[in-house]
């Protein structure tokens, strides 16, 4: 998982300081609308909606925007009908890439995602071609040197986390998706500060990249993430932390 959590931290920090908040808000509004449509508008009874609302609040989205998106999802207000689509393909070096999107026009989005893959040295594949490489997990990532590692271990074990993995720069707590909120709440009560807390896709195997291929892959991921319809991008790359940092400078 080397590189995976580091990239998640880089993305998280970028999102917090991104000037294009309008785009971030529009993506979150889509997620809130879809979550409310699928599971109802009460976050107490809809874990997915609850997590998205928390993410929106972290981005300082106004409460009225959140409430309006919920009402569009439940049908109380008119709004665009979005569907969720997952794309699978390959990036430079044969890296597996999964893309989660919300769209009101599947044909248009598919054509645009295919073009982005091709433009950056990748190829869009068939459904199921790479999904088997990933597992959905809860992830809480901590920066080494900023937390007590023994305390993180203890809290994780007592809260029911599945695993704690260490890299050169991070301490990563993995949970089953259904246990994520419980584990996150346990850490919130201790005051241990995590950098990333999300439900994500963790690769079972990774592909090592460096140099030009590493840069090409990150360019592909950034281009996909910049697309208005794309919510999340997952890839099974293994790029050394120091290489990641140098590529992002």
Q: What is the pLDDT of residues 109-145, one digit of tens each?
A: 999 999 999 999 999 999 999 999 999 999 999 988 8
Mean pLDDT over 15-33 rounds to: 73
Residue 19 pLDDT > 50: no
8 Å CB contact between 31 and 102: yes
**pLDDT at 187 > cutoff 80:** yes
pLDDT digits (tens, 9 = 90+) for 197-229: 889 999 999 998 888 898 899 899 989 998 999
- For domain 134-203, the CATH architecture is 2-Layer Sandwich (3.30)
Which of 122, 84, 114, 112 has the alpha carbon at shortest distance from 237?
122
| Contact yes or no for 138/185 (Cβ under 8 A) | no
Say if pTM beats, i.e. exceeds, 0.95: no
CATH architecture for the domain at 4-74 = Orthogonal Bundle (1.10)
Question: How many CA atoms lie less than 13 Å away from 85 in the CB half-sphere?
Answer: 18
pLDDT, averaged across the chain: 87
CATH 3.30.70.980 region(s) of the chain?
Answer: 83-132+205-239, 134-203
- Every domain of the chain with CATH number 1.10.10.200 lies at 4-74
Q: What's the rounded mean pLDDT across residues 157-169? A: 89
20 pLDDT band, cuts 50/70/90, is low
Please, what CATH class does the domain formed by 83-132+205-239 belong to?
A: alpha beta
CA distance 49 to 37: 10
Which H helix or E strand runs over 84?
strand 83-90
Distance between start and end Cα atoms, the chain: 22
Return the residue matching tokens 């707590």: 173
- Asked if the model's pLDDT at residue 3 lies above 90, the reply is no
């Amino acid at each position: 998982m080397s590189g995976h959590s580091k990239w998640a931290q880089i993305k998280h920090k970028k999102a917090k300081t991104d000037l294009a908040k309008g785009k971030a808000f529009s993506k979150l509004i889509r997620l809130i609308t879809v979550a409310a449509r699928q599971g109802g508008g009460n976050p107490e009874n809809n874990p997915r909606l609850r997590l998205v609302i928390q993410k929106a609040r972290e981005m300082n989205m106004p409460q009225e925007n959140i409430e309006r998106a919920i009402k569009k999802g439940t049908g109380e207000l008119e709004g665009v009908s979005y569907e969720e689509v997952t794309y699978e393909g390959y990036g430079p070096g044969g890296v597996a890439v999964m893309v989660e999107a919300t769209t009101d026009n599947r044909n248009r989005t598919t054509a645009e995602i295919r073009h982005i893959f091709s433009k950056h040295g990748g190829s869009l594949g068939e459904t199921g071609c790479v999904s088997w490489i990933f597992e959905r997990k809860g992830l809480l990532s901590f920066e080494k040197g900023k937390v007590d590692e023994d305390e993180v271990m203890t809290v994780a074990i007592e809260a029911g986390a599945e695993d704690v993995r260490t890299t050169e720069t991070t301490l990563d707590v993995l949970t089953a998706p259904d246990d994520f909120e419980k584990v996150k709440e346990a850490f919130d009560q201790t005051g241990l500060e995590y950098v990333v807390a999300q439900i994500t896709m963790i690769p079972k195997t990774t592909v090592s990249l460096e140099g030009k291929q590493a840069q090409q892959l990150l360019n592909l991921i950034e281009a996909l993430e910049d697309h208005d319809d794309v919510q999340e991008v997952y890839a099974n790359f293994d790029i050394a932390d120091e290489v990641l940092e140098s590529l992002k400078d």
